[in-house]
Amino acid sequence: MSIRRLDKRVPLLELGPVGSLMPLRAAAWTLAGLLALAAGAARAEPVLMPQPKAVAYSAGALPLAAPFAARASGCPQPLISHALSRFAADIARQRSLAEPQGAGPTLTVRCRSADAGYLSLEAKAGYRLDVDAQGVRIDADGPAGALHALATLRQLVGVGTEPANAPFVRIEDAPRFAWRGVMVDTARHFMSLTALKRQVDAMERVKLDVLHLHLSDNEGFRVESLRYPKLQATQHGEFYTQAEIRELVAYAAERGVRIVPEFDVPAHTGAICAAYPEIAAAGDPADAFAVFDRALNPASEATYRFLDGLLGEMAGLFPDADFHVGGDEVSDAAWSHEPAVAAFMAAHGLKSRVEMEAYFHSRVREMLARRGKTAVGWDEIAATPIPKTVIVQAWRNANATGLAVAGGHPTIVSAGYYLDQLMPAASHYAVDPVDLQGDGLTSAEVARLQTLSPLAGGAARPLEIKPMPPLTPEQETLVLGGEMALWSELVTDEMLDARLWPRAAALAERFWSPRDVRDPDSLARRLPVIEDELNLLGLQADASRARMATRLAPDAPDAVATFLETVAPSRYATHNQTLRAMLAGQRHPPPQRLTAPADAAPVDGAAALRFELAARRLAAGDRAALPVLRAQLRIWAANAPRFAEAARGHPDLEAALPVNADVAALSAAGLDALDAIEHGQALGPGARQQAAPLLARALAEHEATSRPVFAFLAKRPPADLIVAIAPAVEILVKAAQTGA
Ligand code: ACM
């Protein structure tokens, strides 16, 4: 049979009344493609992410043979039959296909409740999954649980050429947190509907359940407004039509993903202010950062009439109960040049900019409340006492979580989960949402930055974490969960998949799995596997990187692609040349072209991760890793002259030549170390003396780029790249020093 057959939409199931406990008539899974396997074929333990609460394997495996009968009861339709269709199509891509052979095992899905709380914080997300000789049984608390069980089953089946099977297992699972979010900034760079749907697909596969879209900012207002059409006039077509929003919301809903929109007010409103200057506060013409300081005029009733119309229209488009109104980063300069604001504050007894903000947001919340929406805002909105029902998103540092919870607010934690900082998965993964010291700068670090430069001190202060008592168990219940954020100053539509994944999968586990699931070595082993699986199922990270490599060197894209395996972008916005130019006093720097090696380089490249795993294995005495490591290093060493040749005449690549030279030298050092290890000798003094300064410099560059604000003060590495393989080479060189 051909794969093509799988694309046909064959009705899978006879639909029973929703909530009925009568099993639906078992239907032959004519999509099939699932073949009987000689049972018991040895396979490594499945790679699961997020790790379930409880997993108990037993000996044996169930061949998923065609025809594959599926029954569902109690689950809403067509949701469950669509979910089973997607599951079947995914399994067919993950494993091999064959013609149907006799009666296959049954997949039974039972939802205990159709769940009126589906797509809310109350969604019934728990499930039990049993695989044994009789078949697969999913016993889900509700439809969300059924989708999560199928996500686990996909990972149990895994990827390979041998026919699909699933190990005998009992899994009991439920999420630790109800809010497992991803924030995508569609304002700085517009993200196509196709790209967003692809993220939703991947989110379903790792049990993430909230896609928060940052839809307006200085750079754009990304949703069609029929009431305020000037908002689209400046968007060059880069906005979502209302029909597209409805399509995305419905698409996500089928996959258990809520779409929570954010319209950021009163600051981050440059696009609104440009389209409707009559509701903007006067800015400071002398301010080099005026674009960042633009804000709505909170002293004018016209502003509130406008917002009531606009937010009302948007609230009607997005069915979710929660509606995000931003509230972050109102600058002191935002209103200081608007005489009407000073007069308004005096008349209303508002003593500070923060009190003016509080007044503004009370008006906005009233607009939302009339439409049955719960307001969500960044942690600044809780600077003054506000109703406890408001959901606070803690972002500046881990203390913000403690402050929001102390104010009685349901709290979403984003501090520690800013993926645009380009830190490796393991560093985000190490931060727990309820750890109030988990993310930020220490007071000593802030003091040191202040001595280095007043600007750095100013940037550091909001990140300062102070000792706070840990949350009580009752306070912990206010933490709804976590949300990773991907601000898109340096992320184009084409880069979206690679900048979100695989790190989003690591954080999916942080937000889903029990708190004690935190072993970084286990994460490192599983992450590349999950990354490959998600790419196989549709993420475009690899394909986009290959395309970017081709643009960089049309004659030798493979030389660039191989080089990119060995490097990573420098972190914490250090690659943001627009920001650098503005800090250097340039008022209108040209937009940065996001086509350089630092844009194409992965943060947690699978090749570098696997190389480091193998290095650890060798260092732990597993000599079977030696030939693998040698083969990889030879490839990287041999690539260096090819890259150098490819770079000629291409300035973006020429800038990376010093990094290429380091990769070559580190590869040679690694090969020397492998020779020494193979022969049971200590690395010679010459080789050691060559490797030491090289490693010291490469690792210092890692270190220098790995703390916020400090990273910006550090010397810029060539092409904004660090050598990703340096830590693994260090492991090899250390292992070779003893001659063991
Ligand atoms: C933010 O990062 N300004 C919420």
Res. 2: pLDDT tops 70:
no
67 C-beta neighbours (distance < 10 Å), count: 19
Q: What is the mean pLDDT of residues 60-67?
A: 82
**CA pair distance 594, 648, nearest whole angstrom:** 20
The pLDDT assigned to 173 comes to 98
Res. 715: pLDDT tops 90:
yes
CA of 274 to the centre of ligand 1 (A): 21
CA of 229 to the centre of ligand 1 (A): 27
Instruction: Report the nearest atom of ligand 1 relative to the CA of 393.
Output: 4
Res. 9: pLDDT tops 90:
no
CA angle centred on 362, ends 361 and 364, rounded to 5°: 60
**CA pair distance 635, 400, nearest whole angstrom:** 47
Pocket of ligand 1 (CB under 6 A): 328-329, 378, 395
CA of 510 to the centre of ligand 1 (A): 21
Question: Mind giving me the DSSP string for 471-484?
Answer: PPHHHHTTEEEEEE
- Note the pLDDT tens digit of each residue in 397-445: 999 999 999 999 999 999 999 999 999 999 999 999 999 999 999 999 9
Among 183, 324, 378, residue to substitute to test ligand 1 (most atoms within 8 Å of Cβ): 378
Q: Which residue, judged by its Cα, is nearest atom 3 of ligand 1?
A: 328
- Which helix (DSSP H) or strand (DSSP E) does residue 611 occupy? helix 606-619
Q: What is the mean pLDDT of residues 542-546?
A: 97
Q: What is the mean pLDDT of residues 279-299?
A: 85
Instruction: Report the nearest atom of ligand 1 relative to the CA of 268.
Output: 3
Ordered domains of the chain (ranges, CATH): 22-43+536-736 (no CATH), 54-173 (3.30.379.10), 179-436+471-516 (3.20.20.80)
- Note the pLDDT tens digit of each residue in 379-406: 999 999 999 999 999 999 999 999 999 9
Of residues 627 and 23, more confidently modeled: 627
Q: Which of 238, 254, 329, 654 is catalytic?
A: 329
**CA pair distance 120, 206, nearest whole angstrom:** 18
Confidence of residue 28 (pLDDT cuts 50, 70, 90): very low
Exposure class string for 526-558: b at 16+ Cβ within 10 A, else e: bbbbbbbbbbebebbbbebbbebbeebbeebbe
The pLDDT assigned to 291 comes to 76
Q: In the structure encoding, which two tokens stand for residue 36, read together?
A: 């009987």
Instruction: Report the nearest atom of ligand 1 relative to the CA of 326.
Output: 4
CA angle centred on 549, ends 545 and 550, rounded to 5°: 120
CA of 217 to the centre of ligand 1 (A): 11
Helix (H, G, I), strand (E, B), or coil: what is residue 106? strand
* Residue 181 CA from chain centroid, whole number: 8
pTM of the predicted model as reported, rounded to 2 decimal places: 0.93
Contact 186, 214 (CB under 8 A): yes
Torsion of CA 633, 635, 641, 644, to 10 degrees: -90
**CA pair distance 368, 225, nearest whole angstrom:** 17
The pLDDT assigned to 35 comes to 25
CA of 718 to the centre of ligand 1 (A): 29
CA of 351 to the centre of ligand 1 (A): 25
- Note the pLDDT tens digit of each residue in 131-170: 999 999 999 999 999 999 999 999 999 999 988 899 999 9
The pLDDT assigned to 584 comes to 87
Helix (H, G, I), strand (E, B), or coil: what is residue 87? helix
**CA pair distance 329, 432, nearest whole angstrom:** 25
**CA pair distance 218, 293, nearest whole angstrom:** 9
CA of 235 to the centre of ligand 1 (A): 22
Q: Which of 419, 601, 621 is nearest to 506 (CA)?
A: 419
CA of 182 to the centre of ligand 1 (A): 14
Q: Which of 68, 73, 79, 86 is nearest to 25 (CA)?
A: 73
* Residue whose tokens read 């690591």: 506
Contact 566, 574 (CB under 8 A): no
Burial class (CB in 10 A: 0-12, 13-18, 19+), 96: middle
User: Is 329 in the active site?
Assistant: yes
Helix (H, G, I), strand (E, B), or coil: what is residue 454? helix
Phi, psi of 216 (to 5 degrees): -145, 145
Instruction: Report the nearest atom of ligand 1 relative to the CA of 485.
Output: 2
The pLDDT assigned to 663 comes to 98
Q: In the structure encoding, which two tokens stand for residue 300, read together?
A: 């004018």
Q: Which residue, judged by its Cα, is nearest atom 1 of ligand 1?
A: 328
Count how many Cα atoms sit within 13 Å of the Cα of residue 199 in the half-sphere of its side chain: 32
240 strand-pairing partners: 223
- Note the pLDDT tens digit of each residue in 596-641: 999 999 999 999 999 999 999 999 999 999 999 999 999 999 999 9
The pLDDT assigned to 43 comes to 54
Question: Mind giving me the DSSP string for 172-206?
Answer: EE--S-SEEEEEEE-SSS---HHHHHHHHHHHHHT
Q: In the structure encoding, which two tokens stand for residue 263, read together?
A: 């319209």
* Residues whose CB is less than 8 angstroms from the CB of residue 267 and which lie 6 or more positions away in sequence, other chains included: 293, 294, 295, 326, 328, 329, 330, 331, 334
Mean pLDDT for the chain?
91
Question: Mind giving me the DSSP string for 311-347?
Answer: HHHHHHH---SEEEEE-----TTSSTT-HHHHHHHHH
Instruction: Report the nearest atom of ligand 1 relative to the CA of 329.
Output: 3
Confidence of residue 289 (pLDDT cuts 50, 70, 90): confident
Q: What is the mean pLDDT of residues 299-317?
A: 98
CA angle centred on 338, ends 333 and 343, rounded to 5°: 120
The pLDDT assigned to 739 comes to 59
* Residues whose CB is less than 8 angstroms from the CB of residue 652 and which lie 6 or more positions away in sequence, other chains included: 552, 595, 596, 597, 719
Contact 178, 482 (CB under 8 A): no
- Note the pLDDT tens digit of each residue in 64-102: 876 667 899 999 999 999 999 999 899 989 996 555 666
Residues composing the chain: 740
Instruction: Report the nearest atom of ligand 1 relative to the CA of 418.
Output: 2
**CA pair distance 712, 430, nearest whole angstrom:** 23
The pLDDT assigned to 98 comes to 52
The pLDDT assigned to 5 comes to 25
For the chain, the maximum distance between any two Cα atoms, rounded to a whole number of angstroms, is 84
Res. 18: pLDDT tops 70:
no
181 C-beta neighbours (distance < 10 Å), count: 27
Q: How far is CA 136 from CA 21, 65, 126, in A?
A: 18, 12, 16
Q: Which residue, judged by its Cα, is nearest atom 2 of ligand 1?
A: 395
CA of 357 to the centre of ligand 1 (A): 16
Among 329, 413, 439, 488, residue to substitute to test ligand 1 (most atoms within 8 Å of Cβ): 329
The pLDDT assigned to 104 comes to 65
Contact 29, 5 (CB under 8 A): no
